[in-house]
Amino acid sequence: MEKRKALFIAATGQHVGKTTTCLGLLSGLKKKYADVGFMKPVGQEHVEVDGIRVDKDVVLFKNYFQLEADYKDMSPVLFPRGFTRDYLDGKINENDLSQSIQSSFSRISKAPFTVVEGTGHVGVGSIVNLGNAQVAKSLNLDVIIIASGGLGSTFDELALNKIQCDQAGVNIVGVILNRVLPEKMDMIKTYMQKALDRWNIPLLGCIPYNQFLSTPSFEDFKNLLKTKLLSGEKHKLRHFKHMRLVATSAEIYRKLIIPSQLIITPASREDIVLTTLTKFWDMQITNPDENLESGMILTGSKPPSAKIISELKKADIPALYAPLSSYDTMQKLGSYIAKIQAGDLKKILKAIHVVENHINFDHLCDLIN
């Protein structure tokens, strides 16, 4: 395939911030090129848009950057549940998948520059011969690898992923480190570049860790717990600075109420809910410009009463019910890794700002010109 101005963005693993980094990359590149295309050749998590299944990251990029390409070209292949078994049973034609990716790329890469986002680590998809390195090779693309900010273990992960690229005959043109602790930034930059020098690969950026980008929204919790909102629909993308499991008396809890706090408590504890609501309305009376900005996850075997739901709706506080114990709910919330959603404009803008300011775009563009 003809070489075009495009890069394949891979990662050393899941949850290292590849999509977050791609947001900043696309934003920065759009300042240097008249137009930038985007595609994700192989997707795993999808949503339905206009009657077709589309990778969720593609929806995010298309909506925010107002990209004109068709969804089918931006997300040509999806791995839904059971896909691998169907492939191994001979129900899916490998050549059709590869041809679909190449045809889509040919159309999207008519833009002056194209960002192609991979899925998971470099080897993901290999069981159906559509691993990231294999796809990059089929599209004749060089690769940038995103890795978690660190030194020893990070380099080990890079080495393992480089083997996959070497085997596929893919050229790695740069590395970007994400979530680097600010106090270690200078040290990581210096010594990671020394380590990468043995491969003659440049360090193109070190993106600092940002707490807000790792903070889930209330919508994330709703999806995690597979439930529906009881109230506060317009605040579903609210983020919280604090999380508190409440099992104490309402009198003690009253002293613990602070702004931007997510409350987890049994649905049977109506006293806790009502105490929160009282604090909310008191703030509205004394200082209408301030907002408690709270949220509530009500737990237990029995859902909240209609009266409580009605009161939550009046205050427009985002709340949901999860038929789990408070302990199990906290366990789920504590292990959850937040992702950027298409409608979460506040987090999208923060991601772009943090990433774009910490990537050497001049060096990156020189590599492909």
- pLDDT tens digits along 250-274: 999 999 999 999 999 999 999 999 9
232 CA to centre of own chain: 23
- pLDDT tens digits along 52-71: 899 999 999 999 999 999 99
d(CA 353, CA 85): 41
Q: Is the pLDDT of residue 288 over 80?
A: no
**Per-residue pLDDT at 369:** 67
Q: Which domains, and CATH codes, for the chain?
A: 6-213+343-368 (3.40.50.300), 218-335 (3.40.1390.20)
- pLDDT tens digits along 158-177: 999 999 999 999 999 999 99
Confidence of residue 3 (pLDDT cuts 50, 70, 90): low
Give the mean model confidence (pLDDT) for residues 218-223: 94
Confidence of residue 334 (pLDDT cuts 50, 70, 90): confident
Confidence of residue 349 (pLDDT cuts 50, 70, 90): very high
Kindly report the pTM of this predicted structure.
0.88
Confidence of residue 2 (pLDDT cuts 50, 70, 90): low
Q: Is the pLDDT of residue 1 over 80?
A: no
* Pairing assessment for the beta strands 319-322 and 229-231 based on DSSP bridges: antiparallel
For the chain, how big is the Rg over CA atoms in Å? 23
Give the mean model confidence (pLDDT) for residues 14-36: 92
d(CA 11, CA 147): 6
SS3 readout for the chain: CCCCCEEEEEECCCCCCHHHHHHHHHHHHCCCCCCEEEECCEECCEEEECCEEEEHHHHHHHHHHCCCCCHHHHCCEECCCCHHHHHHCCCCCHHHHHHHHHHHHHHHCCCCEEEEEEEEECCCCHHHCCCHHHHHHHCCCEEEEEEECCCHHHHHHHHHHHHHHHHHCCCEEEEEEEEECHHHHHHHHHHHHHHHHHHCCCEEEEEECCCHHHCCEHHHHHHHHCCCEEECHHHCCCECCEEEECCCCHHHHHCCCCCCEEEEEECCCHHHHHHHHHHHHHHHHHCCCCCCCCEEEEECCCCCCHHHHHHHHHHCCCEEEECCCHHHHHHHHHHCCCCCCCCCHHHHHHHHHHHHCCECHHHHHHHHC
Confidence of residue 4 (pLDDT cuts 50, 70, 90): confident
261 and 244 in contact (C-beta within 8 Å)? Answer: yes
d(CA 90, CA 66): 38
Share of the chain above pLDDT 90, in %: 76
Mean pLDDT of the residues in the chain:
92
Q: Is the pLDDT of residue 304 over 70?
A: yes
Give the mean model confidence (pLDDT) for residues 104-109: 94
**Per-residue pLDDT at 67:** 94
Q: Is the pLDDT of residue 92 over 90?
A: no
d(CA 48, CA 220): 18
Confidence of residue 47 (pLDDT cuts 50, 70, 90): confident
Q: Is the pLDDT of residue 140 over 90?
A: yes
* Pairing assessment for the beta strands 46-49 and 52-55 based on DSSP bridges: antiparallel
Q: Angle formed by the axes of helices 306-315 and 270-286, to 10°? A: 20
Q: Is the pLDDT of residue 289 over 80?
A: no
Comparing CA positions, the residue from 39, 64, 38, 59 lying closest to residue 47 is 59
Q: Is the pLDDT of residue 219 over 80?
A: yes
